Amino acid sequence: MPLLVPEMVGPMLSTGLSSRRPDAIAPRFKAGDAVLARNVHPVGHTRLPRYIRGKRGVIHADHGVFAFPDAAAHGQGHKAQHVYSVCFEARELWGEQASARDTVYIDLFDDYIEPDPAAARAAAAGPSRGR
């Protein structure tokens, strides 16, 4: 796949070209799964916002399979993967000064998230004893 050059942008936008892919890829996550935004700092293009890197969230929805723009921008093909809507509590992102009622939903590619190890440990420990 060629790199995206400026001359390609106009025709792509005018035709409504979608990056949705027909690939049958099993999702890694489902609604309600606790995830952690990866804390990575790639050289070049990424759509992973810095302010969520290393932050915990919960999968809200799976939007389906799309071409991964980071790979496409570097001439590595489509690298199709799921895109998830992830809910982050405002306090997770900005600390205790943020409202406890506010949340932010961000659409993230599969490569940007991983299972939350703290949530996995808590689930493995089971219900609290001594109640």
CA distance 37 to 56: 6
Length of the chain: 131
Query: Would you identify the CATH topology of the domain 33-125?
Result: SH3 type barrels. (2.30.30)
Report how far apart the first and last C-alpha atoms of the chain are (Å, whole number): 59
Per the listing, tokens 């943020």 go with: 98
CB 37 within 8 A of CB 48: yes
Tell me if 104 sits within 8 A of 93, measured CB to CB.
Answer: yes
Instruction: List the domain boundaries for the chain.
Output: 33-125
Tell me how far the alpha carbon of residue 43 is from its chain's centroid: 18
What does the pLDDT look like over 30-79, one tens digit per residue?
Answer: 999 999 999 999 887 788 999 999 999 999 999 999 988 887 777 777 78
What's residue 18's pLDDT? Answer: 65
Whether 80 shows a pLDDT value over 70: the answer reads yes
Which CA distances in Å does 42 have to 71, 79, 106? 11, 16, 19
Q: Tell me how far CA of residue 57 lies from CA of 17, 43, 94, 103, 118, in angstroms.
A: 30, 25, 13, 10, 12
For the stretch 4-20, pLDDT in tens is 678 877 776 776 666 77
Single pTM value for the model: 0.79
